[in-house]
């Protein structure tokens, strides 16, 4: 297969045809920077915090946004959250530290144990003893989101950059349609948050239009040290179930994922108009933005009998 632009040997096959290394890297970088510009994900004045799991997507975005920040002399920090999945997260965070040291990017790592007193596995044991019906990913996700916002605020960030790619977004959209509710889809898009709130740092997704296939290829071609493995708990999650079926559809009907995101983008203005509910109040326990009197993270910690970080 030859590159559709220059005829050299292609390293990847995309919907538009094969691309050689040079043309793929150029196409990929342009797509990411265009998303940042077109959707005004951040400005030169923002203090950037890159949420970094240490996996391929977060290191890809750290690479691209890091280059941009260096050019603009803009402050940037990588933030890793270690929930304590043994044999997995510590290896990924090693890759993050290696990348940051090599590229002279400041980083911080916070752990569930330091912030909540327990790792995710210990929290699950407490939940099981208390007979709480909660999946590990639901508990982990809610606490990670809370820590991310709190820690980014501590670091003085004005934008949180996450490495969610097109595949992640398609899965989230389908999960919302099947289970969560269409109103949750109104919070989607390259920049999240329907309503502004001083306590909520906007989260932006420069990889919104990039597939997992593309980010994997980018890390390989750029020689970014990364482990291509998922958290061992992912396979039992609803997200993994949805991902498997969407991948099967994509295999038979090439372009389905891109089409879903294209249609979501067309619907988003209407969804935001319909479900925007004005000012978000604060959780009365932690002060974080919450639509309920007590936010989900505090309600969950309360059920577990644990005090969260201040």
Q: Which stretch binds ligand SF4 (CB under 6 A): 90-98, 137-145, 148-156, 277-285?
A: 137-145
| 27 three-state secondary structure | helix
Q: Which of residues 223-262 bind ligand SF4 (CB under 6 A)?
A: 231, 233-234, 237
Residue of 65, 68, 105, 137 that binds ligand SF4 (CB under 6 A): 137
Q: Does 123 bind ligand SF4 (CB under 6 A)?
A: no
Q: Which of 22, 134, 141, 222 binds ligand SF4 (CB under 6 A)?
A: 141
Element housing 50 (H / E): strand 48-51
Contact between 165 and ligand SF4 per CB under 6 A: no
Nearest-approach distance from CB 61 to ligand SF4, in angstroms: 17
- Which of residues 83, 95, 115, 169 is near ligand SF4 by CB under 6 A? 83
Q: Does 97 bind ligand SF4 (CB under 6 A)?
A: no
Angular region, 107: left φ>0, alpha ψ -120 to 50, beta rest? beta
Considering beta carbons, is residue 32 or 61 the nearer one to ligand SF4? 61
Establish if 136 lies at the interface with ligand SF4 (CB under 6 A). Answer: yes
Phi first, then psi: what are they for 46, rounded to 5°? -75, 150
Q: Is position 85 an interface residue for ligand SF4 (rule: CB under 6 A)?
A: yes
For residues 152 and 199, the answer to whether their CB atoms sit within 8 Å is no
Task: Give least dist CB 184 to ligand SF4, A.
Answer: 17
Give pairs for 190-197: CB < 8 Å, separation 24+. 190/35, 190/39, 190/41, 191/39, 191/40, 191/41, 194/272, 194/275, 194/276, 194/277, 195/276, 195/277, 195/278, 195/279, 195/280, 197/279, 197/280, 197/289
In contact, 187 and 193? CB cutoff 8 Å? yes
Beta-carbon contacts of residue 185 (< 8 Å; ≥ 6 apart): 173, 176, 177, 264, 267, 271
Nearest residue (CB) to ligand SF4, 149 versus 237: 237
Is there binding between residue 140 and ligand SF4 (CB under 6 A)?
yes
Interaction mask 172-211, ligand SF4, x per CB under 6 A: ----------------------------------------
Q: Would you call 109 helix, strand, or coil by DSSP? A: strand
Tell me how far apart the alpha carbons of residues 170 and 14 are, in angstroms, rounded to a whole number.
Answer: 18
Q: How far is the CB of 306 from ligand SF4 (least distance, A)?
A: 17
142 touches ligand SF4 (CB under 6 A) = no
Rg (CA), the chain: 20
Backbone torsions φ then ψ of 81, nearest 5 degrees? -115, 120
155's torsion region: left (phi>0), alpha (psi -120 to 50) or beta?
Answer: alpha
Instruction: Closer to ligand SF4 by CB, 168 or 214: give it.
Output: 168
- Cβ 92 to ligand SF4 shortest distance, Å: 10
Residue placing its CB nearer to ligand SF4 in the complex, 35 or 171: 171
Least distance to ligand SF4, CB of residue 135, Å: 8
Q: Which of 207, 169, 161 is nearest to 32 (CA)?
A: 207
How many residues bind ligand SF4 (CB under 6 A)? The answer is 10
Cα 306 from chain centre = 26
Contact residues for ligand SF4, defined by CB under 6 A = 83, 85, 136-137, 140-141, 231, 233-234, 237
């Amino acid at each position: 297969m030859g590159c559709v632009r220059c005829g050299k040997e292609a390293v990847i096959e995309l919907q538009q045809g094969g691309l050689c290394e040079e043309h793929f890297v150029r196409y990929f970088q342009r797509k990411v920077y265009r998303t940042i510009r077109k959707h005004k994900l951040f400005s030169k004045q923002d203090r950037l915090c890159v949420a970094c799991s240490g996996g391929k997507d977060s290191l890809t975005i750290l690479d691209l946004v890091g280059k941009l920040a260096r050019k603009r002399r803009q402050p940037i920090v990588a933030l890793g959250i270690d929930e304590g999945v043994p044999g997995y997260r510590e290896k990924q965070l090693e890759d993050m530290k290696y990348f940051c040291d090599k590229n002279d990017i400041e980083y911080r790592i916070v752990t569930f144990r330091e912030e909540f007193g327990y790792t995710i596995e210990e929290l699950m044991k407490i939940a099981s003893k208390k007979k709480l019906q909660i999946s590990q990913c639901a508990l982990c996700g809610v606490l990670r989101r809370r820590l991310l916002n709190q820690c980014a605020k501590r670091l003085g960030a004005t934008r949180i950059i996450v490495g969610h790619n097109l595949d992640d977004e398609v899965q989230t959209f389908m999960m919302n349609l099947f289970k969560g509710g269409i109103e949750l889809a109104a919070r989607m898009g390259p920049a999240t948050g329907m309503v502004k709130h001083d306590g909520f740092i906007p989260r932006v997704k420069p990889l919104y239009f990039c597939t997992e296939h593309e980010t994997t290829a980018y890390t390989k071609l750029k020689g970014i040290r990364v482990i291509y493995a998922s958290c061992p708990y992912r396979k039992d999650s609803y997200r993994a179930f949805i991902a498997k079926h969407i991948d099967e559809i994509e295999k038979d009907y090439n372009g389905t994922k891109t089409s879903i995101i294209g249609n979501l983008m067309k619907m988003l203005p209407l969804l935001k108009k319909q479900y925007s509910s004005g000012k978000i109040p604060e959780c009365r326990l932690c002060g974080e933005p919450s639509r309920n009197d007590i936010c989900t993270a505090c309600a969950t910690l309360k059920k577990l009998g644990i005090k969260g970080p201040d």
